[in-house]
């Protein structure tokens, strides 16, 4: 998951290194959730994850509900079937932002590595059960 893509902040005094790939198919694509979770709006590209199917789960964490505005969030389950696909967005983020994403996700999710249809290896949150 390592790779170094630098992005100079507007001040030109500090360089932020985006070393992590994160695939989102749900609320982390929401601009309000991104602003609250990361303190910025993320830029990403559309991609597809094969071998998973999308379901919905009830969220009980009041902070997560307040951030997303929803009490049901999408979650994906591994099916091993190439015909099952999930559309989403691939983001480049920092290691600190990856930790912030971990903090945002409730216990029903776990972070795993997966390969997208584009060939990119990325982190993605899947059902923990």
How big is the CA angle at 113 (ends 80 and 86), to the nearest 5 degrees? 50
pLDDT tens column, 107-128: 999 999 999 999 999 999 999 8
pLDDT tens column, 76-89: 999 999 999 999 99
d(CA 87, CA 35): 22
Band (pLDDT 50/70/90 cuts) for residue 16 is: confident
Band (pLDDT 50/70/90 cuts) for residue 14 is: low
Band (pLDDT 50/70/90 cuts) for residue 6 is: very low
Question: Residue 109 burial (CB < 10 Å; 0-12/13-18/19+)?
Answer: buried
Residue found by looking up tokens 């071998």 in the block:
51
Q: Among 5-9, 26-30, 100-104, whose mean pLDDT is lowest? A: 5-9
Task: Map out the domains of the chain with their CATH numbers.
Answer: 22-127 (3.10.490.10)
Choose among 79, 129, 87: nearest CA to 108: 129
d(CA 1, CA 74): 24
d(CA 112, CA 109): 10
């Amino acid at each position: 998951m390592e790779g170094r893509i630098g992005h100079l902040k507007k001040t030109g005094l500090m360089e932020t290194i985006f070393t992590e790939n994160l695939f989102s198919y749900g609320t982390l694509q929401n601009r309000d959730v991104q602003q609250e979770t990361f303190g910025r709006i993320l830029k990403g590209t559309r991609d597809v994850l094969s071998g998973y199917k999308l379901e919905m789960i009830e969220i009980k964490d009041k902070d997560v509900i307040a951030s997303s505005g929803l009490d049901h969030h999408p979650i994906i389950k591994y099916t091993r079937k190439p015909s099952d696909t999930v559309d989403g967005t691939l983001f480049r983020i920092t290691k600190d932002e990856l930790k912030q994403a971990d903090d945002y996700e409730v216990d029903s999710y776990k972070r795993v590595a997966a390969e997208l249809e584009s060939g990119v290896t990325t982190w993605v949150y899947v059902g923990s059960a």
